[in-house]
Amino acid sequence: MDLLAVERVSKAFGGIQAVDECSIRVDAGSIVGLIGPNGAGKSTLFNLVIGTYAPDAGRIVFRGERIDGLPPYEIVERGLAKTFQIPREFRSLTVLENVMVSARGEPGESPVLSLIGLSRVWRRERELETRSRQLLSLVGLLELAEEPARNLSGGQKKLLELARVLVMEPSLILLDEPVAGVNPTLSLKILSLIESLRGTGKTFFLIEHDMDVIFNRCDRVIVMHQGRVIAEGKPAEVRAMPAVIESYLGG
Amino acid sequence: MVDLTNLVTDLSRSWIALAFVYAVAAIGLNLQWGHTGLFNAGIAGFFAIGAYVAAIVSTQSLGPGPGGPGHAGLISLFAFPFGVQIAFVVGGLAAMVVCGLIGLLIAIPTLRLRADYLAIATLALSAIAVESIRNWDSVTGGVYGILGVPRPLEFGQDIWRTELAYALTVGLIVLIVFVLMERATRAPWGRTLKAVREDEDAALALGKNTYFLKLQAFVFGAALMGGAGALFATLLRVAVPDSFTPALTFTIWTIVIVGGSGNNKGVILGAVALTFLEYFTVRAKDWFTLTSYWSIRIFYVRLMALGILLILLILFRPAGLLPEPLKATKKPRILIGSG
């Protein structure tokens, strides 16, 4: 069954048609790769799905419910999460706090409950801290938990992005270039993490320029060019398509 | 040269209370700017509205006469034993509610826009508020203002009527405001506000309702500034439009930056430090043998001293006297409810 269905979605910025009648399906439990030249509209498509932008036309359906036009916090509430291409950590918060602040549905986010110091707020806070530390240990950042996030290296910030979306317990995770600018060992670690999380029932939809990731790790590959989907299928099929070779892969 | 007993007596004569009044407003600005990154350039406006709401609630209506155009007043509503105390509390709460609502009205359209629009809108609000007050004679008394704003504890024993007793009352209010604000900002709510301050787009994409969070911080901050304005009117015992100049906005900003943006304790310290600096430049001419040339100019040296202090602080302690704590949250000692 489709977990996510993007149906003939369009988005223009001024005179630029960033996404042009795009239709995409993502099956539950799969890893789907999205490739295409720079400016093809990949990141814009992600931003449309997560609600940062509202589409000009078309429908976006997640778990059978329309989500296009909803604000991001309502979309996230339904189990979607996205990482940023360039990490957007909260610089002065600690690594642990970056993860904890990303959890959804915390009662302590209400000023009134926080003000009166309800013990339920702080019990949830303790549970959240345990869960956040487990996630930090999963991505290998536990030793840096108390550091301000601005002190992390570029690759570590990518791992923090991953921990931040995982704490939201989403069913579909959009990853915008998860291994770009990351060294090979770390990249391998991120990829095996994604693989093992897929085993626990999570679905991944990722943008990547690393062809090893796309062709060896993804179940399906979608190719965008000038805002349109020009090809999709199994990695081996897509790799052989002349249109893909011409616009993206090169001869 | 400086007699300690005299110094305490002199300081208690409105200076300590003034520091505490500034502290309440600074805690409000710290919520808006220090925690959430909202630039409020109209603090004087919220002060003015708070002062006048409290003054109108806690004084008797006065018709036009030779002394001025008169003004509106509601004290007759509280004409029973302890009426002054009730008027003080109701006046302060009314000032907070009105300023909170005005803050809400200005925040709804501007908080959707980028930060600089909020600064312009609040600056304009401040100018509109003060000019309206200056010209709305029948309600505000125009340039004559509202005289005889009562202080709390103006009954019974003489010792309760002293300046020191008043200063301690305001100090108690600062303590209550501090404890409540510290609870709220060092809880998950405050941490979420900091996330909005650090990177609003990221917080939005992570599923935070950033607009609503900014609205909450701005409204609560504006309410505190209104409360500070109400206290200011009781401190001076009058509300006159000339008290609410842009310099007041600048003073509160300086307090927050000097004290430590993002640290509630720091901004209270900043309020005390800056008020003491002001006191020193006012009184220096009495303590030291100054030539008449300097005794006239010493007060203006204050502004230069303030400027130099700010530059030195930005160079050597950019995070303020007490910087923002490293950890955003801190579990309070006393919790409500079981579990």
pLDDT tens digits, residue range B232-253? 999 999 999 999 999 999 999 9
DSSP letter at A7 equals E
In chain B, the N- to C-terminal Cα span, in Å, equals 60
Question: Residues 6 or more apart from B104 whose CB is under 8 A from it?
Answer: B215, B218, B219, B222
Whether A99 maps to a domain, the answer reads yes
Answer yes or no: do A147 and A211 share one domain. no
> For B137-167, how does the pLDDT look when each residue is reduced to its tens digit (9 = 90+)?
888 988 889 988 888 877 667 777 788 888 9
Residue A164 lies in a domain: no
| Token pair listed for A33 | 């790769």
Q: Do A19 and A98 reside in the same domain of the chain?
A: no
Q: Let me know whether A8 and A99 are in one domain.
A: no
In a domain, A241, yes or no: yes
Going across the sheet that includes A57-62, the strands are: A16-27, A2-13, A57-62, A65-66
Half-sphere exposure of A107 (CA within 13 A, CB side): 16
Residue B339 has pLDDT above 60, yes or no: no
Min CA distance, A86 vs chain B (Å)? 11
Q: What is the pLDDT of residue A2?
A: 85
Q: A82 and A113, same structural domain?
A: no
One domain, residues A50 and A95: no
Residue with tokens 């690393």: A210
Q: How far is Cα B154 from Cα B177, in angstroms, rounded to an integer?
A: 23
Tell me phi and psi for residue B55, to 5 degrees.
-65, -40
The dihedral over CA atoms of B174, B175, B181, B187, expressed in degrees to the nearest 10, equals: 170
Residue A203 domain flag: yes
Q: Does residue A7 sit in the same domain as residue A78?
A: yes
Cβ contacts of B191 on chain A, cutoff 8 Å: 93, 97, 100-101
Q: Please classify residue A138 by burial: count the beta carbons closer than 10 Å to its beta carbon, then call 0-12 exposed, 13-18 middle and 19+ buried.
A: middle
Decide if A124 is inside a domain: yes
Say if residues A107 and A124 touch (Cβ distance below 8 Å).
Answer: yes
Query: Is A162 domain-assigned?
Result: no
> Range of A39's domain?
2-89+169-249
Q: Average pLDDT of chain B?
A: 88
Question: Which residues fall within 8 angstroms of residue A137, CB to CB, at 6 or more apart?
Answer: none
Which chain B residue lies closest to A98 (C-alpha atoms)?
A: B195
Report phi then psi at A94, rounded to 5.
-70, 170
A79 and A97 assigned to the same domain: no
Residues of B in contact with A109 (CB under 8 A): 188-189, 192, 208, 213
The answer to whether the Cβ–Cβ distance between A125 and B202 falls below 8 Å is: no
How many domains does the structure of chain A reveal?
Answer: 2
For residue B328, the SS3 value is coil
A163 in any annotated domain: no
Q: Considering only CB atoms, which chain A residues are within 8 Å of B206?
A: 76, 81, 101-102, 164, 168
A147 and chain B in contact, CB less than 8 A: no
Residue with tokens 């002394």: B67
Express each pLDDT in B181-209 by its tens digit: 999 999 999 999 999 999 999 999 999 99
Choose among A100, A117, A125: nearest Cβ to B336: A117
pLDDT score of B326 = 87
| A200/B contact by beta carbon, under 8 A | no
Q: Are strands B146-147 and A228-233 parallel, antiparallel or unpaired?
A: unpaired
CB-based burial label for B3 (10 Å; 0-12, 13-18, 19+): exposed
Bridge partner list, A6: A24, A60
Residues 6+ apart with CB under 8 A from B162: B12
- The model's pLDDT over B291-328, given as tens digits with 9 standing for 90+, comes to 778 777 777 777 787 788 888 888 999 899 999 998 88
Which residue in B181, B201, B206 has the most chain A C-beta atoms within 10 A of its own C-beta, making it the best mutation to test that interface?
B206
B187 contact residues in A (CB cutoff 8 A) = 108, 114-115, 117, 121
Phi, psi torsion values for A118, nearest 5 degrees: -65, 135
Answer left, alpha or beta for residue B201, where phi above 0 means left and psi between -120 and 50 means alpha. alpha
C-alpha B250/C-alpha B154 separation (Å) is: 32
Q: What is the pLDDT of residue A21?
A: 94
Residues A8 and A83 placed together within one structural domain of the fold: yes
Per-residue pLDDT of chain A (251 residues; tens, 9 = 90+): 689 999 999 999 998 999 999 999 999 999 999 999 888 999 999 999 999 999 999 999 999 999 999 999 999 999 999 999 999 999 999 999 999 999 988 888 999 888 888 888 899 999 999 999 999 999 999 999 999 999 999 889 999 999 999 999 999 999 999 988 888 888 888 899 999 999 999 999 999 988 888 888 999 999 999 999 999 999 989 888 888 888 877 76
**Residues belonging to chain B with any Cβ–Cβ distance to chain A shorter than 8 Å:** 180, 183-184, 187-192, 194-195, 198-199, 201-209, 213, 216, 220, 324, 326-329, 331-332, 334-339
Residue that has been written with the tokens 């990547």 in this structure: A208
Residue type, B80: F
Q: Residue A228 falls within a domain, yes or no? A: yes
Residue A91 sits at the chain B interface (C-beta within 8 Å): yes
- Considering the domain architecture, whether residues A55 and A98 belong to the same structural domain is answered as no
- pLDDT level of residue B81 (50, 70, 90 thresholds): low
Structure tokens at B254: 């300086």
Place of tokens 């230069």: B304
A82 lies in the same domain as A96: no
- Judged by CB atoms closer than 8 Å, whether chains meet at B198 and A101 is answered as no
Q: Cβ of A118 and B327 within 8 Å?
A: no
Q: What is the pLDDT of residue B174?
A: 97
Residues A208 and A136 occupy one common structural domain: no
Tell me whether strands A203-207 and A172-176 are parallel, antiparallel or unpaired.
parallel
Residues A40 and A71 in one domain: yes
What residues form DSSP beta bridges with A231? A223
The separation between the first and the last C-alpha atoms of chain A, rounded to the nearest angstrom, is: 36
Distance, in Å, from the CA atom of B312 to the CA atom of B315, rounded to the nearest integer, reads 5
Q: What is the pLDDT of residue B77?
A: 67
Chain A residues within an 8 Å CB radius of B203? 90
* Amino acid found at B160: W
